[in-house]
Amino acid sequence: MSNLDWAVLLVTLLGIVGYGVYKSRGTRSMDAYLLGGQSMPWYTVCLSVMATQASAITFLSAPGLAYSSGMSFVQFYFGLPLAMIVLCITFVPIFHRLKVYTAYEFLEQRFDFKTRALTAFLFLIQRGLSTGITIYAPAIILSTILNINVTYTTLFMGGLVIFYTVFGGTKAVSYTQLLQMTIIFCGLFAAGVMVVHLLPESVGFGKAIDIAGKMGRTNAIDFDFSWTNPYNVWSGIIGGFFLQLSYFGTDQSQVGRYLTGSSVGQSRLGLLMNGLVKIPMQFLILLIGVLVFTFYQYNKAPLFFNSYELHKLERSEHRAELANIQLKHDRLFEKKKQEVEKLDAALSANNQALINQQRTLVKQYDEEGKTIREELKALMIKNDADAATNDNNYIFLSFVTEYLPKGLIGLLIAIIFLASMGSTASALNSLASTTVVDIYKRLINKSANDGQYVNASRWATILWGVVCIIMALFTSKIGNLIEAVNILGSFIYGTILGVFLVAFYLKNVGSKAVFYAAILSEAVVCVLGFNEVVAYLWLNVIGCLGVVIFAYLFQNLIKEKAVEIEVPV
């Protein structure tokens, strides 16, 4: 990185951290610290919700996914608009009117403390683990730039985020996310323009997509139903709906965001706008990955995008074998480039017969490339059994640092940091609020004043920050980070959502029935998930429906009287 890039990066980072600290001054009450005084307009709610979901992982992993397997991941978000509608009809008005700090408070009013504690516990486990991954993602960036072990960069990044979050509080998190998303949109647009600009003169935007499409990278829609394919229209709409409804309706990191809305209407509008914008945004991020793929058809891609792992192999006793693989990779690139240029010419001439012939050839070379990479991965494992053999998360990063102009590199890396800080701040804030509101205030210290609870929240943030850093240190062996977060969520979200749906819609079901139904359903999800019986998105559906069905059956066996709660209008 040049001095200009470092300057852009540092000024942006320190500016955001300073802004967070500045915004947190004078925060003395729990309402202000955990709910931002419920004063935010819809556009702040919308961008805050988007910034919480779109972590650094979104900008690192999604282009990498599109590069290696195409755009099918966009279908994952098809359930989101439907989930936003259900949230706006049911969850938002009830949470607002009951004036809860956390979603789980509502469950004690509807059922009992053990149900509240169970869901809060499941949330803490899931969010604690996935926030570790969120911290790890930007740590990769520093690792690659400085060429040092990712452990040290994880410690540095985690420490910076804890410092910012402890002082930030919810209000500052929301305001900084507003700025962060604005910068992120501008930076991604600039990155997209630059990729097209770097392509050969004969290859414009349309042709770049056309070439990637002929090599199977524009597969945005797949209508074929499958229980095991994670990305098709049906798993996206049905499984995605349950996952997104669980995430936005029961995950405190999101509930805490839209509860900051100044009214039910402002919270609703923020969520519905998110439903309008999210899918096109994700499509465009994946499209950048597709353009990067086409770029590397004309410019030789690294043999392996994680340079740290490659350097390890270069210094090992296996360097002769590595050189041999590198030679095969170089030769294949030259052959493939010639065929891609012929495909380019065939597309210009609109010669369908030649297009079909070249498509078969370049796809064949693409498969050969994958075989060479498998050979390399086997060598990496032979050299070091703990080597990280998945480099998806490094693809976009490697392109940015290698080919983008000075200044823009610093800006794009700052964007990845900002995204990470925003989502990690939300996560740590929600972990702290759940720990303090649902455990500390409820069980340990019921009669403290507001200032003491704010201090407890700050200590809880530090504690969770340290736990998440420890989790992050174990993350390096996980393949694609964005998938890892979603898989982890799918194991737990469905069960929590089921508990909330029973609370809202099965008014005759009591606390014992729903509690045991939740435990049984979670056990079923774990058995199916660990044995990979179905693709992970379906675990959300199974977990949720499991709770609803088991709770209904148990209620008929137990015949327990349910508590009715009145929701103020």
Q: Rule CB under 8 A: which residues touch other proteins?
A: 38-39, 74, 78, 81-82, 84-85, 88-89, 96-97, 209-210, 212-214, 216, 218-221, 223, 233, 262-266, 268-269, 272, 275-276, 279-280, 283, 569
How far apart are CB 501 and other proteins at their closest, in Å? 19
Angle at which helices 113-146 and 150-198 cross, to 10°: 70
Nearer to other proteins among residue 214 and residue 318 (C-beta):
214
The Cα–Cα gap between 325 and 380 comes to 12
Give min distance, CB of 74 to other proteins, in A. Answer: 7
* Dihedral over Cα of 73, 78, 84, 87: its sign: negative
Angstrom distance (rounded) from CA 251 to CA 390: 29
Q: Which residues of 286-316 are buried (b: 16+ CB within 10 A; e: fewer)?
A: bbbbbbbbbbbbbeebbbbbbbbbbebbeee
CB 484 to other proteins: min, Å: 25
Is the Cβ of residue 220 or residue 415 nearer to other proteins in the bound state?
A: 220
* Phi, psi at 40, each rounded to 5°: -85, 140
Neighbours of 128 (CB within 10 A): 17
Residue 276 C-beta: closest distance to other proteins, Å: 6
Distance CA 494, CA 243 (A): 7
Residue number, 1 or 221, with CB nearest to other proteins = 221
Residue 147 is given by DSSP the state: T
Neighbours of 209 (CB within 10 A): 17
- What is the closest distance, in whole angstroms, from the C-beta atom of residue 279 to other proteins in the complex? 5
Given the complex with other proteins, which of 206 and 479 has the nearer CB atom? Answer: 206
Based on CB atoms, which residue is closest to other proteins, 116 or 214?
214
Least Å from the CB of residue 79 to other proteins: 9
Nearer to other proteins, 46 or 468 (CB): 46
Q: What secondary structure letter does DSSP report for 239?
A: I
Q: Which residue has the tokens 């509860």?
A: 259
Closest separation in Å from C-beta 108 to other proteins: 22
Provide the minimum distance between the beta carbon of 481 and other proteins in the complex, in angstroms, as a whole number: 24
Measured from the CB atom, the residue of 101 and 515 that comes closer to other proteins is 101
Q: Shortest approach of other proteins to residue 214 CB, angstroms?
A: 8
Q: How far is the CB of 387 from other proteins (least distance, A)?
A: 35
Nearest 5°: the CA angle 228, 232, 236 is 100
Query: What letter does residue 476 receive in the DSSP assignment?
Result: G
CB of 221 to other proteins, least distance (A): 4
Q: How far is 409 from 218, CA to CA, in rounded Å?
A: 27
DSSP for 68-103, please give it.
HH-SGGGGGGTTHHHHHHHIIIIIHHHHHHHT-SSH
| CA dist., res. 185 & res. 54, Å (int) | 12
Looking at beta carbons only, is 207 or 300 nearer to other proteins?
A: 207
CA pair distance 498, 511, nearest whole angstrom: 13
Closest CA to 132 of 401, 424, 365, 398: 424
Q: How far apart are CA 8 and CA 483, in angstroms?
A: 30
Contact between 543 and 521 (Cβ < 8 Å) = yes
Q: Pick from 237, 261, 248: which is nearest to 91 by CA? A: 248
Tokens of 156: 């540095």
Smallest separation (angstroms) from other proteins to the CB of 458? 25
Three-class secondary structure of residue 261 per DSSP: strand
The two tokens of residue 350 are: 């609109």
In the bound state with other proteins, the residue whose beta carbon lies nearer, of 143 and 218, is: 218
Closest to 129 measured CA to CA, from 529, 470, 418: 470
Is 283 or 516 the residue whose CB approaches other proteins more closely? 283
What gap in Å lies between CA 340 and CA 362, rounded to an integer? 7
Query: Least distance in Å: CB of 243 to other proteins?
Result: 16
Judged by beta carbon, residue 102 or residue 393, the one nearer other proteins is 102
Nearer to other proteins, 116 or 217 (CB): 217
Q: How far is the CB of 201 from other proteins (least distance, A)?
A: 21
> Closest approach of Cβ 137 to other proteins, in Å?
27
Q: How far apart are CA 189 and CA 199, in angstroms?
A: 16
Are 235 and 537 in contact, with CB atoms under 8 Å apart? yes
* Contact criterion met (CB below 8 Å) for 427 and 255: no
